[in-house]
Copies of this chain bind each other. A is one copy, B any other.
């Protein structure tokens, strides 16, 4: 078995050089999911990542955790806390964020979905996109879609994140009105049978609207990152 062993080790040795440039490899910076971690852990990880990459993002940050981060890192970095979106962004004081030219829309159906929508917005902005937000555009008041659809078409926006709880019909409807990919985010809003986002997730997966893809319940970060990834590709293509 010695041959197999030495080969395995040799091969694995190659992995070591792989993870150093994650952003370049995947197009998305690493983020810290703060839920279930202590403020100390989150703070430490932000510190390390910011030193390395110039900036860092933490999601699902509690009030208490955000305060701890501010207390420990604000003398060293710029610290931006988005209360609604429960995000914290830290940035080296000499870091210059780059604008990619990518354009992303974020739509949400109701006030209860704002937290998820803001998480998506912050994520896309951190990735260099210009983000256009349209909140409170539920299917009940379909006329409220005029403004976002108009903007998406006129501004040449490349992708849209649509957050919806309850029956989760909004992403399908939006997708039917604009010629860009839509990322649906079921939010954990609802009650009784199918509550906690399950009905919304199911509906989006059952939707007959091709061009609509889905991330997990309340995953604003994943949706924002994907939308920005698409938008940044388009922006980069324009510049070529």
Stretch at the interface among A48-56, A61-69, A70-78, A134-142: A134-142
Say whether B208 contacts A167, CB under 8 Å.
yes
| Alpha-carbon distance between A12 and B15 when the two chains are bound, in angstroms | 9
| Alpha-carbon distance between A27 and B7 when the two chains are bound, in angstroms | 15
A42: nearest chain-B partner, CB-CB: B111
**Contacts A192-B217, A216-B191; is A8 near B25 (CB within 8 Å)?**
yes
Say whether B143 contacts A19, CB under 8 Å.
yes
Binding site for B on A (CB under 8 A): 1, 3-5, 7-19, 21, 24-28, 31, 35-37, 41, 111-112, 123, 138-146, 149-150, 153, 158, 166-169, 172-173, 175-181, 183, 186, 188-195, 197-219, 221-223, 225-226, 229-230, 233-235, 237-238, 240
- Interface CB pairs A-B, < 8 A, 24: A5-B153, A7-B18, A8-B177, A10-B14, A12-B143, A12-B146, A12-B177, A14-B143, A15-B146, A19-B144, A26-B209, A27-B180, A28-B210, A167-B168, A167-B204, A179-B229, A190-B206, A192-B217, A193-B198, A193-B217, A205-B215, A211-B222, A213-B222, A237-B238
